[in-house]
Amino acid sequence: MDSKETETALQQLASDDGVVREKARKSLVATHSPEVIRALISELVDPRKQVRWEAAKALSEIGDPVAALGLVHAMDDDSKEVAWIAAEGVAAMGTAGLTAVLSGLTRSSRCPEFHKVAHHALKEFHKRGTNREIVETVMQALEGVEPRLTAPVVAYEALSKLRLAKTSA
């Protein structure tokens, strides 16, 4: 897929026709070049919800860890549908995705909605068997009495454990 075809496919993500959007998304996913990934990350901030959803879905299907931070930012989207598809996508990225979610939580004194979406992502990590012990600890913090206070601290500690495990491996 050349630059012109990529641009056309990106424009088609805004189509009112679901079949056109799906075909465009699938062609972008099939290409999964660095150019396409960068372009899709840019689309995560498009003013149109459907374009953000399509971009998050495509990045989730591509599964390149380069998109992990972009998807974590999309987990804070005003649209619950965009946020949840981003959470599922980042969970499919394994440890790189978990690192991005934990990093997002360390900076989080955000609204409870972000915590709900992060919890959803952590449940997905748990289902996939990604660092279960670490995931369970952070989930407990999010389920606790004051997650705005405890979750960033616990996420930071979990992030430190992940980094330590990575350097000793």
The answer to whether residues 89 and 166 belong to one domain is yes
Domain count, the chain: 2
| Residue 74 domain flag | no
> What's the pLDDT at 110?
63
Cβ-based neighbours of 29, under 8 Å, separated by 6 or more: 58, 61, 62
Four-point Cα dihedral 37, 41, 44, 48, nearest 10:
-60
The answer to whether residues 88 and 50 belong to one domain is no
**Mean pLDDT taken over the chain:** 93
| Residue 134 domain flag | yes
Please compute, for residue 46, the number of CA atoms within 13 A of its CA located in the half-sphere on the CB side. Answer: 20
The answer to whether residues 168 and 90 belong to one domain is yes
| Residue 31 domain flag | yes
> What's the pLDDT at 2?
84
State the average pLDDT over residues 104-119.
85
Q: Which domain holds residue 49?
A: 1-62
What would the pLDDT profile of 64-108 be if each residue is shown by its tens digit?
999 999 999 999 999 999 999 999 999 999 999 999 999 999 986
| CATH number of the domain that residue 37 is part of | 1.25.10.10
Is residue 67 within 8 A of residue 124, CB to CB? The reply is no
| Residue 7 domain flag | yes
The answer to whether residues 167 and 94 belong to one domain is yes
The answer to whether residues 111 and 145 belong to one domain is yes
> What's the pLDDT at 1?
74
Looking at residue 146, its amino acid is E
> What's the pLDDT at 112?
85
